Homo-oligomer: A and B are copies of this chain.
Amino acid sequence: MRARPVQSMEPTASLATVAADAGVSVATVSRIVNGKNGRASAETVARVEEVIARLGYRPNPVGRALKRRASRVVAMLSPNLDNPAMAAIAVSTEAALRDAGYVMILCDTHDRAELQDDYLRAMRGQYVAGYVMVGALRSRGLEEAIGRGDPMVFVARHNPLGGGAYVGIDNRAAGADAADFLLAQGIDRPAVLMAAQNASSTAERAEGFIARLVARGVPDEAIRRASVPGLSHVEVGYAAASSLVREGDWPRGLFCVSDMIAYGAYRLACESGVRVPQDCMLVGVDGNAINAWIAPWLTSIRVPYENFGRHVVDQLRSLWGGAATAEIRVPHGSLTS
């Protein structure tokens, strides 16, 4: 004797199943499912909806995507989830997309242009509804996608080709805040550590920092700065701090354009017997959640990444609606440690 299959194991209902059960055509069911029933009798609608509910019908996204040449999938291209800030962006974007009825394919580009292009091409084949570019690189594929007008929002790092929908903080203002803060601590000659690579946003932070310092009377040539190449910000921080102190004393205050850079500088400070923040105050940007637990010595400008996802989806909606691209500047927090 065979066990009766449980209801849940029955194959998913299709439009055809529903249509047959309701005694109407698939066209009619399709219209009702899509809310295009300005032209469907009330009885028909009721009957079809009953069948849909009873059978637990859900439109198949693949069939739909093929016909519409558009899916409910959004691609996120991100350079590295190892950075808690990038992870936070991914998390909030995933949640916001889900609330909007989309799912997210995660593409880790490792900050490599060829990988970015491979993914851009592959995602196009998936008929993705849009692209969330976290830290985009200049590349052939990017140019093509933009030329095509594919919906694309840039997060944290600007479109390397200029223009485009953007979500991020006001980096220059954040840098200026860091300058004000350090000055207010009585540190009149703070230095700055930055990454030399792929860094529109972090470069802006450094610029804002320096500009504010200069505006407040610090001679430009008195502002020590170190910039080293590299993709890992912790390593960049360590190396940049090394290069900075190789040419002089430890500064009493150090603006690090990201928390990861600050972590790197911190390690060198520890190795050098420099106490943080007593001997050298470290100011970062990101406000990683982990700081409160294990990096109380760090003062950081909090970036509300948990809100980025919402704004990213807003941007995508504008693009889908045909609106012109715009920038969304999310307000950053004050400095906290």
A interface vs B, CB < 8 Å?
A: 6, 8-9, 12, 58, 60-63, 65-66, 71, 73, 80-82, 84, 87-88, 90-91, 94-95, 98, 103-108, 121-127, 140, 144, 147-148, 234, 238, 263-264, 266-267, 270, 289-290, 292-296
Contacts and interface: CB of A to CB of B under 8 A. Distances in A.
Given A66-B66, A266-B294, 12 more contacts: A6-B147, A9-B144, A62-B71, A82-B289, A84-B84, A90-B106, A95-B108, A267-B292, A267-B293, A290-B290, A294-B294, A294-B295
A276 to B, nearest CB: 10
Nearest to A103: B105
B105 A105 contact: yes
A122 B106 contact: no
17 contacts: A12-B125, A58-B125, A61-B122, A62-B71, A62-B127, A63-B66, A81-B81, A81-B91, A87-B87, A90-B106, A94-B107, A98-B107, A103-B107, A106-B106, A263-B294, A264-B293, A290-B290
**Number of copies of this chain that the complex holds:** 2
Given A87-B82, A263-B294, A61 B125 contact: yes
Please provide the 3 A-B residue pairs with the shortest distance between their CB atoms, ordered closest to farther. A106-B106, A263-B293, A8-B144
Given A108-B95, A294-B295, A125 B71 contact: no
A3 to B, nearest CB: 11
Contacts of A290: 234, 263, 290
Contact of A126 (B61, B82, B264): B61
A126 B71 CA distance: 10
Contacts of A270: 296
Contacts of A124: 12
Given A81-B90, A108-B94, A263-B290, A58 B148 contact: no
A125 to B, nearest CB: 5
